[in-house]
Amino acid sequence: MNVPNHIAIILDGNGRWAKAKGMPRSYGHVKGCANLETICDDMKELGVKYLTVYAFSTENWKRSREEVEGLMKLFRSYLKKCLKIAERNQMRVKVIGDISAFDEDIQRKVIELEEFSKDFTELHFQIALNYGARDEIVRGMRRLARDAVDGKVKPEEIDEAMIGSYLDTAGIPDPDLMIRTSGELRLSNYLLWQMAYTEFYFTDVAWPDFNKAELIKAIEKYNERDRRYGGTKEE
């Protein structure tokens, strides 16, 4: 089995999963968060080098105050726990997205976790928090425009690699496989620039139920794909 170098996941379906059990949405988020710990161990075991998960989008602020507050509480405890998970898996953690919108203590926890894990190289784990691909492009292009105004960049020097270097994912290879759980067939503003040639895998399984067996199934499907990048099939 050829294991993808970089897997991106849209971890969706926590709310529906909980509702189906007669439980509040927050219960689904707690279980979904616990599953995030397990999946990091699984990725490490399978030899995946990069994992990027979508945990909170720029659009998710539209949810009820109660739900957003519950998620913030969960992020606080998860970011703390993640120090141990990072050490266990020798995993470097980075947060992508605009963290300036979060309370200061959350921002501090993010910086602490990134700093703590910066020399680990077994697994590169990106958590997308207050992330939206369009917002990422806007923020990056503002910085690029600033550098152009300051004379650091000439318009004719701008190429695809340079644009990539202004995004939150600078230095991280593009995803090979994108998995979305829980049945929705859309990107929801995730990694629009980075996923130009990524293979997509959609499953009806809800995020809290997505386990190692399901992950292997996704990787097996990925192995059946004929990746061409615009070329022709090799004989």
Instruction: Please report where in the chains the tokens 């070329």 appear, as a residue.
Output: 231
* Closer of 36 and 226 to ligand IPE (Cβ): 36
* Closer of 25 and 94 to Mg ion (Cβ): 25
Catalytic member of 12, 42, 168, 176: 12
| Length of the chain (residues) | 235
Q: Could you tell me the smallest distance in angstroms from the CB atom of residue 184 to Mg ion?
A: 7
In the region spanning residues 9 to 48, those forming contacts with Mg ion, defined by CB under 5 A, are 12
DSSP letter, residue 12 = -
Is 60 one of the catalytic residues?
A: yes
Catalytic member of 5, 41, 60, 209: 60
* Closer of 137 and 153 to ligand IPE (Cβ): 137
The beta-strand segments (E) located in 80-221 are 91-96, 123-131, 177-180, 199-202
Return the residue nearest ligand IPE (CB atom). Answer: 15
In the region spanning residues 63 to 92, those forming contacts with Mg ion, defined by CB under 5 A, are none
Q: Could you tell me the smallest distance in angstroms from the CB atom of residue 114 to ligand IPE?
A: 20
Binding positions for ligand IPE, rule: CB under 6 A = 10-16, 32, 54-57, 60, 71, 182, 184, 186, 188
Q: What residues act catalytically?
A: 12, 60
